[in-house]
């Protein structure tokens, strides 16, 4: 089977420090081009990774690179819509870094373009591909923890000043909800088996930002009776950044960071956590490594895509409900 021919668009932090180093080491991949608005940056990266061609104009790249299989979009959120639709209309499959778009309407345009052109859209939700998350997911799917009735997840991380566009609503679409919150409820929804959402109540705070929220507390009630709470913040005062996801079932529970699985057996609660010596840094790197290898496998027709555009549409519907609830100060029914 021939190699997957890929172009990487957007050579910022995640493109240069994560996607390119991993893709360049996958034997089944040929990186044929890179593209960035800064021509000098594109040229530098192309030379560093011995990539044959570089571009500063996406349309020019798409016209010139007819043999491309997939386009890896690592640009800022405000350019996802144009970049993804252009690539899909050029009959290329796409991987888009999270979030898929700024709004539900933008995400819908991308998903519709994929369907019209019969191409695949994958959204970069790398936490689903963490080794510990995949083990917990398999145990939940296998019924080992009983029926999952409650999950809570959160990510507290100081805002990085290197990305000023994150706090400009017209560019980012929102604040910490679209930066960290969406990642956590995607992970929690996936672990819970995608229960149908019924109602959302949210409180957003803007202590150190203007125009977007820097802290968000969300409570989601599902139609099957289960519940989910999500907290995300750039400004909650804590000594360290903190990331967690806990799932509770009728026969046990599981946690990520630290990784722990407890199961009720013969009336006792037993720690059944597989032995792991992986550091948070290793888990972070492996999550991207597994995600990108999965995308390459999907490009080569080996399996369907995980983390699809349709799933991202559901997340964006929840995002809209979060902002509505926070603005109105009351719960919002998810349609």
Given a contact cutoff of 8 angstroms between Cβ atoms, the answer to whether 274 and 284 are in contact is no
Who's near 22: CB < 8 A, 6+ residues apart?
A: 288, 289, 292
pLDDT, averaged across the chain: 96
- Return the half-sphere exposure (C-beta side, CA atoms, 13 A cut-off) of residue 17: 5
User: How far, in Å, CA of 219 to CA of 28, rounded?
Assistant: 43
Task: Give the model confidence (pLDDT) of 220-276 as tens digits.
Answer: 999 999 999 999 999 998 888 999 999 999 999 999 999 999 999 999 999 999 988
Is 80 exceeded by the pLDDT of residue 118? yes
Provide the β-strand partners of residue 202. Answer: 218
Fold of 128-289+314-333: Dihydrodipicolinate Reductase; domain 2 (3.30.360)
Identify which of 34, 113, 26, 7 has the alpha carbon closest to the alpha carbon of residue 297: 26
Per-residue pLDDT tens over the stretch 151-200: 999 999 998 766 788 999 999 999 999 999 999 999 999 999 999 999 99
pLDDT at 162: 63
Q: Considering the domain delimited by 4-126, tell me its CATH architecture.
A: 3-Layer(aba) Sandwich (3.40)
Per DSSP bridges, beta strands 53-55 and 227-233 are unpaired
With contact defined as beta carbons under 8 Å apart, do 223 and 198 qualify? yes
Sorted by sequence, the CB contacts under 8 Å of residue 275 that are 6+ apart come out as none
Instruction: State percent of the chain over pLDDT 90.
Output: 93
Q: Give domain limits for the chain.
A: 4-126, 128-289+314-333
- Is the pTM above the cut of 0.85? yes
**DSSP string across 242-289:** EEEEEEEETTEEEEETTTEEEEEETTEEEE-PPP----HHHHHHHHHH
SS3 112: helix
Q: Which token pair is 29? A: 């991949």
What is the side-by-side order of every strand in the sheet holding 268-271? 268-271, 260-265, 252-256, 242-249, 148-156, 227-233, 215-222, 197-205, 332-333
Judge if 4-126 and 128-289+314-333 fold alike in CATH terms.
no
pLDDT band at 94 (very low <50, low <70, confident <90, very high): very high
The region, left, alpha or beta by phi > 0 then psi within -120 to 50, assigned to residue 190 is alpha
- Alpha carbon 195 to chain centroid, angstroms: 18
How far is it between the farthest Cα atoms of the chain? 65
Residue 1 banded pLDDT, cuts 50, 70, 90: low
């Amino acid at each position: 089977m021939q190699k997957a021919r890929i172009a990487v668009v957007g050579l910022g932090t995640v493109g240069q420090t994560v996607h390119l180093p991993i893709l360049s080491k996958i034997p089944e991949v040929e990186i044929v081009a890179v593209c960035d608005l800064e021509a000098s940056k594109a040229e530098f990266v192309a030379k560093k990774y011995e990539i044959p061609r570089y571009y500063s104009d996406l349309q020019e790249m798409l016209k010139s690179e007819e043999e491309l299989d997939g386009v890896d979009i690592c640009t800022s959120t405000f350019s996802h819509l144009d970049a993804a639709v252009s690539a899909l209309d050029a009959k290329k499959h796409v991987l888009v870094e999270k979030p898929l778009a700024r709004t539900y309407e933008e995400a819908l345009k991308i998903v519709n373009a994929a369907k019209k052109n019969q191409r695949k859209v994958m959204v970069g939700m790398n936490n689903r591909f963490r080794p510990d998350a995949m083990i917990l997911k398999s145990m939940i799917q296998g019924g080992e923890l009983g029926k999952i009735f409650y999950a809570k997840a959160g990510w507290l991380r100081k805002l990085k000043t290197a990305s000023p566009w994150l706090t400009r609503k017209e560019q980012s679409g929102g604040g910490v909800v679209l930066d960290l919150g969406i990642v956590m409820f995607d992970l929690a929804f996936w672990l819970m088996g995608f229960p149908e959402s019924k109602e959302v109540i949210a409180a957003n705070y803007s202590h150190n930002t203007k125009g977007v929220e820097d802290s968000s507390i969300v409570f989601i009630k599902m139609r099957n009776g289960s519940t989910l709470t999500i907290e995300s913040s750039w400004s909650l005062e804590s000594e360290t950044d903190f990331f967690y996801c806990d799932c509770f079932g009728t026969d046990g529970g599981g946690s990520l960071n630290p990784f722990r699985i407890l199961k009720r057996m013969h009336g006792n609660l037993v720690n059944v956590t597989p032995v792991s010596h992986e550091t948070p840094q290793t888990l972070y790197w492996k999550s991207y490594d597994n995600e990108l290898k999965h995308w390459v496998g999907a490009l080569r027709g080996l399996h369907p895509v995980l983390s699809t555009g349709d799933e991202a549409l559901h997340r964006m519907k929840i995002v809209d409900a979060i902002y509505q609830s926070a603005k109105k100060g009351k719960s919002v029914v998810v349609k």
